[in-house]
Structure 1
Amino acid sequence: MDLFLSKFKFAYKYIINSIGFYPTLISLFFFVLALFMLYFEALGLSNALKDNMQFMIITNGATARLILSSITTGIISLTVFSFTMVMLVLNQASANFTPRVIPGLISYKSNQRVLGLYLGVLIYTLVIMVNIRSEYFGNKLPGFAIFLAMCLTIVCLAFFVYFIHSISQSIQIESILESIFGVTRDKLLQEIKSDTDAGLPNIFGDQTDWHMLDSPETGYIQNLDKESVLELCRQHDVVLYFDQPLGSFLIKGIPFARTNKPIDTLEGFIEKLFGYMSFYREERPDVNYIFGFKHIAESAVKALSPGINDPGTAIKAIDYLTALFALRMELTDEKVLYDKDGAGRIRFDHETFEDLYTLTLSPIRLYGKSSSVIVLRLLYLLKSLLHKVKPYPHLNGILYREAQLLIHDADASILNPGDRQKIRSMLEELNKMNVLDKSLPLLEVSE
């Protein structure tokens, strides 16, 4: 039962992020609405309204067919055009930014609802059209249902204008970066909120004699059903340690975790464990905050490429990364999960601050090392983090080493004396803060 529930949870998360989720639900709603309208028409709805609201009731069969045919043709055209625009937006986003942002664009609920409205009205109209002059109706024509189809068509036209505005906004890099930043920040805040352990239990101390578990599958481990895995560990009375953080790539036959003692039914344990784990290719920031860092960094690198040449976008990406790194400082590099009895059962490492800093900023530093604007922005990122690093002294060395790499590249790539002087002035400001253990080296400026 637990395995079924875990599979259902993972499938649910996948389905709700699909581009067809809301269109399917809305289409079903309009199909049911059409059936209800036909039911009330059979009870004489149009006849009851005919005397008092004649303008709402269609009584001519040729007019009814013309109206419904026009609605059907128009909605199909709107739907095709809208889907075409979505595909063009996704293609442009993949070419200009990074392919990893596509799942986020697809999951925009507003666009899905508009497309669902088109499909739903189309299905409603088709169902009503089939019942024109059916012998089942005393009035022969479902007049009010046809009038409702006309009203829904006007609503579709209004939402088409909204869709054009929405799709033009969603393709802008500012909107994409802000969306990724918001999702990543929320996920990071969730991790910080749950990261309440000051230290690790002693049971996780020495792992040299622990028993290795080999992966039976190849793929990225994106998520796991924590409650089910905790219960599995409690039933076998073992402590589970993941060698790699979530989001890592597992290879079949290679150890991925270890337990504090041997398990008699090891194959069954691993089979159940992988049943509670989620493997898929999409990198979604709402599942793992590391993906949000990567998407923003990749957008910055793409903007710095010669084909795009958009340093303004790179600067905005660095600003968002500054805010995210300031939050990441509050998170420890490991996480411990406890079962319902309060026993520590699972530990897995977060991506360390140093690894995340290097993974995210090294490509930006490499592609932007010859631009004084990018170098100054990266130094400003460092300055912002130095204002917040005092409660986390273990990060001082990391920030110093990364700053050294940035200075080394800037010293070799930036030759203009004026630009070098600006960078030197920023470095002097950083040294005056007296936060780092050692002063940063200054660039030499020729007279």
Structure 2
Amino acid sequence: MERITSRFKFAYSYIINSIGFYPSIISLFFFGLSLFMLYMEANGLSKSFKDKLPFMIITDEATARLILSSITTGIISLTVFSFTMVMLVLNQASANFTPRVIPGLISYKSNQRVLGLYLGTLIYTLVIMVNIHADYYSIPLPGFSIFLAMCFTILCLSFFVYFIHSISQSIQIESILESIYHVTSDRLNDEIAKDKGTGIPGVFDTDKTWHPLKSPQTGYIQNMDRGAVLEICSEYNVALYFEQPLGAFLVEGVPFARTDKPIDDMDGFTDKLFAHVDFFREERPSVNYLFGFKHITESAVKALSPGINDPGTAIKAIDYLTALFSLRMRLTDEKVLYDKKGKARIRFEHETFGNLYAMCLGPIRLYGKGSSVIVIRLLYLLHSLLYKVQSRPHLKPILYREALMLLHDADKEISNPGDRLQINHQVKQLNARQILDKELPLLNVSL
């Protein structure tokens, strides 16, 4: 039963992030509405409205069929055009930014609802059309239902204008970066709220003998049903140590975790464990905050490439990374999960702050080391993080090391004396705060 529950949770997560989720739900609603309206028509709905509001009721069969066929043709064209526009937007986003932002664009609920309205109106109209003077029952012309189809068509036209505005806004890099930032920060705040601190229970003592678990399949381990996995560990009375963080790539037959004691049926334990582990290709920041850092970094690197050459976008990406790193500093590098009795059962590592900081700033530094604007912005990132690092002194060497590498590259690539003076001005401001253990070196300036 637990295995079915976990599979259902993973399937639900996949379905609600699909581009077809809301269109399917809305289409089913309109189909049900069409059947309900036909039932009401059979009970004299149009007849009662005809006496009170005759202008709302269509009484001519030829006119009704002409209206419904025109609506059907128009909505089909509108739907095809809208879906084509979505595909073009996704293709442009993949080419100009990074292919990994596509799942985020697809998951925009507003656009899905508009497409669902188109499909729902089309289904409603078709159902009403085939039931005009049908042979298998005798009802008057469903005039009020036809009037509703006209109203839905007008609504579709109104939302089409909104759709054009929304899709043109969603393709802008500012909108994409802001969306990734908010999803990532929400996920980070959730992790911070669940963080128990830096203490590692003695059950995870690395000096004792640990027994490896081999991965039964190859792929990215993106998520797991933590409650179910904790129950499995409690059932076998073992502690489980994941050697890699969620989001890591597992290779079949290669150890990915270890238990603190041997298990007689190790294969059975592994099968039960992997029944509650999810593998999928998409990198969604809502599942793992690391993906949000990666997406913003890749957008900045793509903007700095010679083919795009958009330092403004890179600066915006660095600003969002600054805010995310200030949040990440509040999270410990390792995580421990406890069962219902308060006993430590699972330990797995986050991507350490140092690795994450290097992973994001390394590519930006590589592609932007010849631009004084990018170098100064990266120094400003350091300037902002220094306000947070005083309560976390163990992170000071990481910030200092990355700053040294940035200045080393800038010293080699930037030769203009004016640009070097601006960089030195920013470095002097950093040194004046006296937060880092050692002062950062200044660039040599020869006028």
| Alignment TM class, shorter chain as reference | over 0.9
- Whether the 8 Å CA contact 1:134–1:140 is kept in 2: the answer is no
Offset at residue 99 of structure 1 (A): 0.1
Distance of 2:251 and 2:384 partners within structure 1: 39
Aligned partner letter, 2:154: I
- Whether the 8 Å CA contact 1:390–1:435 is kept in 2: the answer is yes
- Whether the 8 Å CA contact 2:196–2:336 is kept in 1: the answer is no
Q: Does 2:85 correspond to 1:114?
A: no
Partner residue in 2 for 1:358: 358
Q: Does 2:197 correspond to 1:197?
A: yes
Offset at residue 59 of structure 1 (A): 0.7
Q: Does 2:222 correspond to 1:210?
A: no
Partner residue in 2 for 1:56: 56
Q: Does 2:157 correspond to 1:151?
A: no
Partner residue in 1 for 2:224: 224
Offset at residue 286 of structure 1 (A): 0.3
Distance of 1:286 and 1:419 partners within structure 2: 40
Aligned partner letter, 1:421: L
- Map Cα deviations across residues 71-99 of structure 1 (whole Å, 9 max, x no partner): 00010011000000000000000000000
Partner residue in 1 for 2:88: 88
Residue range with higher mean Cα deviation, 128-137 or 264-273: 128-137
Distance of 1:383 and 1:292 partners within structure 2: 22
Distance of 2:152 and 2:402 partners within structure 1: 59
Distance of 2:36 and 2:235 partners within structure 1: 51
- Whether the 8 Å CA contact 1:389–1:395 is kept in 2: the answer is yes
- Whether the 8 Å CA contact 1:47–1:139 is kept in 2: the answer is no
TM-score, normalised with respect to structure 2: 0.99
Offset at residue 134 of structure 1 (A): 2.1
Secondary structure of the structure 2 residue equivalent to 1:222: strand
Partner residue in 1 for 2:386: 386
- Whether the 8 Å CA contact 2:196–2:335 is kept in 1: the answer is no
Distance of 1:134 and 1:140 partners within structure 2: 10
Partner residue in 1 for 2:70: 70
- Map Cα deviations across residues 197-241 of structure 1 (whole Å, 9 max, x no partner): 341111112255110111111000001100000000000000000
Partner residue in 2 for 1:42: 42
Distance of 1:217 and 1:132 partners within structure 2: 56
- Map Cα deviations across residues 397-445 of structure 1 (whole Å, 9 max, x no partner): 0111111100100000000000001101111111111001111111000
Distance of 2:134 and 2:402 partners within structure 1: 77
Unpaired segments ≥5 residues, structure 1: none
Distance of 2:388 and 2:412 partners within structure 1: 30
Offset at residue 128 of structure 1 (A): 0.2
- Whether the 8 Å CA contact 2:239–2:345 is kept in 1: the answer is yes
Distance of 1:135 and 1:40 partners within structure 2: 18
Distance of 1:134 and 1:387 partners within structure 2: 75
Unpaired segments ≥5 residues, structure 2: none
Identity, % of aligned positions: 72
Distance of 2:44 and 2:425 partners within structure 1: 83
Distance of 1:363 and 1:229 partners within structure 2: 36
- Map Cα deviations across residues 86-125 of structure 1 (whole Å, 9 max, x no partner): 0000000000000000000000000000000000000000
- Map Cα deviations across residues 359-399 of structure 1 (whole Å, 9 max, x no partner): 11100000000000000000000010111100000000011
Partner residue in 1 for 2:396: 396
Distance of 1:362 and 1:431 partners within structure 2: 22
1:175-186 matched pairs, under 5 angstroms = 175-186=175-186
Aligned partner letter, 1:27: S
- Whether the 8 Å CA contact 1:134–1:141 is kept in 2: the answer is no
Partner residue in 2 for 1:239: 239
Aligned partner letter, 2:66: L
Secondary structure of the structure 1 residue equivalent to 2:246: coil
Distance of 2:135 and 2:422 partners within structure 1: 85
Partner residue in 1 for 2:275: 275
Partner residue in 2 for 1:103: 103
- Whether the 8 Å CA contact 2:219–2:279 is kept in 1: the answer is yes
Secondary structure of the structure 2 residue equivalent to 1:435: coil
Distance of 1:112 and 1:39 partners within structure 2: 29
Secondary structure of the structure 2 residue equivalent to 1:51: helix
Aligned partner letter, 1:332: T
Offset at residue 196 of structure 1 (A): 2.3
1:278-293 matched pairs, under 5 angstroms = 278-293=278-293
TM-score, normalised with respect to structure 1: 0.99
Aligned partner letter, 2:330: E
- Whether the 8 Å CA contact 1:325–1:385 is kept in 2: the answer is yes
Secondary structure of the structure 1 residue equivalent to 2:52: coil
Distance of 1:253 and 1:207 partners within structure 2: 24
- Whether the 8 Å CA contact 1:318–1:377 is kept in 2: the answer is yes
Distance of 1:338 and 1:287 partners within structure 2: 20
- Whether the 8 Å CA contact 1:188–1:328 is kept in 2: the answer is yes
